Amino acid sequence: MAGSLTNERIKDALPRERKYWLADELNNLYVLVMPNGAKYWKFRYRYDGRSDEVTVGKPYPRMLLPAARAEARRLQVLLDGGVDPQEKKRQEKRAAKQIRANTFEAAANDWYEFRTKAWKPRTAQQVRAYLDLDLLPALGRHPLDAITTSMLADLVHKIDDRGAPDVAKKARQWLKAIFQYARAKEWTTADPVRDLHAITIINAESEPHAHIPYEELPAFLAAMKEVSASPLVKGAAYLALWTASRPGVTRTLRWSEVDLDEGLWNIKKGRDEMKRGYRHVTPLSRQAVAALKDLHRISGTFEHVFVGRNDPSKPLSDGAVKAMFERMGYAGRQTMHGLRHVVSSALNRKGYVSDHIERQLAHKDPDKIRGVYNTEPYLEDRRTMLQDWADILDSLAGEPVAILS
C-alpha cells in the first residue's frame, strides 16, 4: 500500500487473515501488520544483489513514526556507505553479548563454579553468601575493564565499617582471585586489585574479639544470670566460657558429638567451623555436663544442641550471643570469640601448663604432637584444668551456674 505513513494510518490498520505491509514513501521504511494485530517497524533494502530486511526499534506504538523514520535514515546512511544493516545489527548484538559476558558477575560466577570443586561445602556456602550479599550487588553489572581500584576500596571499606573486618579481608582475597581467573581466561587485562592494599585500611582483628579482664568476671557473670535470654543462648555462652572452644564450633555443637556419660565432646577431623580442621576432644566439667543434660530436654530431638530460634533444623545464629552481650551492657567490650581470651588469660594467670592451655585452645594439630601416637594429648590434665576453671567461675558468680533457673 503506497503513500506516506501517518500515526493515524498505522493506528487504524486492522489485522487480516494474513500479514501485510504498510509502506512509507521514503527511507525504505515499512510497518508489518501481523494477523494477531502486532505491528513491527521494518527497514527493507537490497544489498549485494539480494533483498533483506531488518527490524527497526520497538514495535508500534512503543516506537512512533518520527523515531522510526530517524532510525530508518540512520540505516540508509549505513547502506549508502556500503554497510549491510543486517550484518551491522548482528555485530552489535555480538558485541553487547560479549560485554555482558565480560561483566564482573559473569566472571565471579564462573570462578565460583570452578573453585567449588576444591572447596568443602561449608566454604562454598560461605563464599556464595558473601558474593551475593556484598560483591555482586556492588560490582556485578560492571564490565571487568570498567572496575577501578577506588571502586573496590569503597566496597571493602563498607564491609569493614559494618563491623566485619574478617569478611573485608576475605573480600579482598576473593577480588584478587576473581581478577586473576578472568585474566587467565583472557576476559580482561585489568588488574584493579594490584594496588588495593595501598588504599584500604581494615580495622584490627582484635576489635571484634574484645574481652574483659579477669577482675570483671564476677560482674559479667552476674549480668549473664540476670539478662533475659533463651537458655539455648545462655548455654552456648557458658559452654564457650567453660571450654574456650571456638564460637562457630560451639554454636553448631551436635548431640552426636557429646558423650555425657564420659564427659567428652568429640570433634572429628575436618569438622566445619573448626579452624584448620584439626580433630579435637574437649573434656566437659560437671557443670557443662549438667547444663547439656538440661538442654537435652529442649533440643534433644534435633541435630544441634543450640538450635535456631526460627528454624530448629539449623544451629543458633552467630549473632544471638552477641545480641545477649549487648543487652547485658557489654557491647564492644566482650564477644563470644573473646571468651577464649578470657579463659586463656585466666588459666595462664593461675599457673596452668601452657601446653595444656594451647591444646585446649586447639592451636596445634594433635596428630603431630610428639609422643602422642594418635591418643588425645593431655586429656586428663585438661580435664582437671577445666574442672578447676568451672569451679572458679562458680566461686566468682557466688553460686553454681544453672541456665534453666
Span 13-49, pLDDT tens digits: 999 999 999 998 766 899 999 999 999 999 999 898 8
Domain boundaries, the chain: 7-97, 104-205, 209-397
Q: What is the 3-state secondary structure (H, E, C) of 120-136?
A: CHHHHHHHHHHHHHHHH
pLDDT category at 205 given cuts 50, 70, 90 is very low
pLDDT-wise least confident of 89-98, 331-340, 374-383? 89-98
3-class secondary structure, 179: helix
- Give the Cα separation of 91 and 87 in Å (integer): 6
Mean pLDDT value across the chain: 87
pLDDT of residue 201: 78
159 closest CA partner among 140, 185, 133: 133
The residue-averaged pLDDT of 340-360 equals: 90
pLDDT category at 206 given cuts 50, 70, 90 is very low
pLDDT digits (tens, 9 = 90+) for 249-290: 999 999 999 999 999 999 887 776 665 557 889 999 999 999
pLDDT digits (tens, 9 = 90+) for 58-101: 999 999 999 999 999 999 898 888 998 888 888 877 766 665 56
Q: Is 275 an active-site residue? A: yes
pLDDT of residue 91: 80
360: Cβ contacts below 8 Å, ≥ 6 apart: 243, 244, 282, 382, 385, 386
The residue-averaged pLDDT of 189-206 equals: 80
pLDDT of residue 120: 85
For the domain spanning 7-97, the CATH number is 3.30.160.390
Q: Is 333 an active-site residue? A: no
pLDDT of residue 63: 92
Q: Which CATH architecture has domain 104-205?
A: Orthogonal Bundle (1.10)
Q: Which of 337, 341, 356, 359 is catalytic?
A: 337
- Give the Cα separation of 199 and 60 in Å (integer): 52
pLDDT of residue 391: 96
CATH fold for the domain made of 209-397? hpI Integrase; Chain A (1.10.443)
3-class secondary structure, 50: strand
160 closest CA partner among 141, 136, 134: 134
Residue 400 has pLDDT above 50, yes or no: yes
pTM of the predicted model as reported, rounded to 2 decimal places: 0.52
Q: Which of 340, 341, 359, 382 is catalytic?
A: 340
pLDDT of residue 274: 61
Sheet of 280-283, strand order: 258-259, 264-267, 280-283
pLDDT of residue 150: 93
Q: Is 363 an active-site residue? A: yes
The H-or-E segment that residue 194 falls in is: none
pLDDT of residue 394: 94
Cα–Cα distances in angstroms (integers) from residue 296 to residues 57, 163, 226, 231, 300, in the given order: 67, 34, 22, 11, 4
The residue-averaged pLDDT of 163-191 equals: 89
Q: What are phi and psi of 228, to 5 degrees?
A: -85, 110
pLDDT of residue 168: 87
Residue 2 has pLDDT above 60, yes or no: no
Q: Which of 275, 276, 297, 350 is catalytic?
A: 275
Q: Which of 39, 246, 322, 341 is catalytic?
A: 246
Residue with grid cell 543486517, as numbered in its chain: 86
Residues in the chain: 405
Q: Is 309 an active-site residue? A: no
